[in-house]
């Protein structure tokens, strides 16, 4: 990051961190490695995705994952269950997939319908098939710095930072949101040896959240509120990673007020086309890794 003097600093346009471009490079590598692995072993990496109910966003996500698998040479099987599916029926399907040695990765698309409890479902996925990285065993391994799988969205963010040569060492990273899917693991990766950031997690109980964000060299917004982070919260020359994707009328917007933040940041991710494509790319990589570990 460039040093700045608040008295002389002037607005500028941030560099755009292109998730589509970076994810394309990751997918190309996965495609090449998958082809070589299948040629050598006769095994095609196989992702089983479970979709319960008819949530429109979830259907789009799963469709995109299926398409990405096909393009990279992976096998993808989608299990569509009705919104009347019981907890036991869902658990039984996961047990079947656990026992099927032709399946290397299992993904249960969240959120589940309200009457289903996601925790026991995710806990029941075999850790060596947990390509989302949500199982407690995999979370523990990640926090200890010896991961089996890294959770897809935080891993994608770390790939973006590395691709852009953004040094996190000694930087103050502020993660907004404490979800098990993004916020907590994101903080866990940033604080690891090798990343070496000083990390603050902000959430709904944080006092004067704007003041905390203004201290950040790196902002990771994953709160799920449209344009929650306004331009005046961004420290000059900060790096802004917007994980959010929210539909406002006919627009897709992130958790960051993009145009205002881009005037102050040194680099920023767009929405759409930023973190989203990276999440799917990392899922493909995890599925290939699971297949390699199975032989």
Active-site positions read 65, 109, 132
Q: What is the per-residue DSSP string for the chain?
A: -----TTT----PPEE--HHHHHHHHHHHHHHHHHHHHHHHSPPPEEEEEEES--HHHHHHHHHHHHHHHHHT-EEEEEEE-TT--HHHHHHHHHHHHH-TT--EEEEPSSPPTTS-HHHHHHHS-GGG-TT--SHHHHHHHHTT--SS--HHHHHHHHHHHHTT---TT-EEEEE---TTTHHHHHHHHTSTTT--EEEEE-TT-TTHHHHHTT-SEEEE-S-STT-B-GGGSPTT-EEEE---EEETTEEE-SB-HHHHHTT-SEE--SSSSHHHHHHHHHHHHHHHHHHHH-
């Amino acid at each position: 990051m460039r040093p700045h003097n608040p008295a002389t600093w002037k607005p500028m346009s941030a560099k755009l961190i292109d998730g589509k471009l970076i994810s394309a490079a990751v997918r190309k590598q996965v495609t090449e490695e998958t082809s070589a692995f299948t040629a050598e072993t006769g095994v095609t990496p196989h992702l089983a995705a479970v979709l319960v109910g008819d949530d429109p966003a979830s259907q789009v996500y799963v469709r995109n994952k299926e398409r990405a698998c096909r393009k990279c040479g992976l096998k993808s099987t989608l299990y569509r269950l009705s919104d009347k599916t019981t907890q036991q029926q869902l658990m039984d399907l996961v047990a079947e997939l656990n026992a099927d040695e032709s399946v290397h990765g299992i993904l249960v698309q969240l959120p589940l319908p309200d009457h289903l409890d996601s925790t026991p479902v995710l806990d029941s996925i075999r850790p060596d098939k947990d390509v989302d990285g949500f199982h407690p065993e995999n979370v523990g391994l990640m926090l200890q710095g010896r991961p089996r799988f890294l959770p897809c969205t935080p891993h994608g963010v770390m790939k973006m930072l590395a691709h852009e040569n953004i040094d996190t060492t000694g930087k103050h990273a502020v993660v907004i949101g404490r979800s098990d899917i993004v916020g907590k693991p994101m903080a866990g990766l940033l604080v690891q040896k090798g990343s070496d950031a000083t990390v603050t997690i902000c959430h709904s109980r944080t006092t004067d959240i704007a003041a905390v964000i203004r201290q950040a060299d790196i902002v990771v917004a994953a709160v799920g509120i449209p344009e929650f982070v306004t331009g005046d919260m961004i420290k000059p020359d900060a790096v802004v990673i917007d994980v959010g994707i929210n539909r406002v009328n006919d627009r897709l917007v992130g958790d960051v007020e993009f145009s205002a933040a881009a005037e102050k940041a040194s680099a920023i991710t767009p929405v759409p086309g930023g973190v989203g494509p990276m999440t799917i790319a990392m899922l493909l990589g995890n599925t290939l890794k699971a297949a390699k570990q199975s032989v």
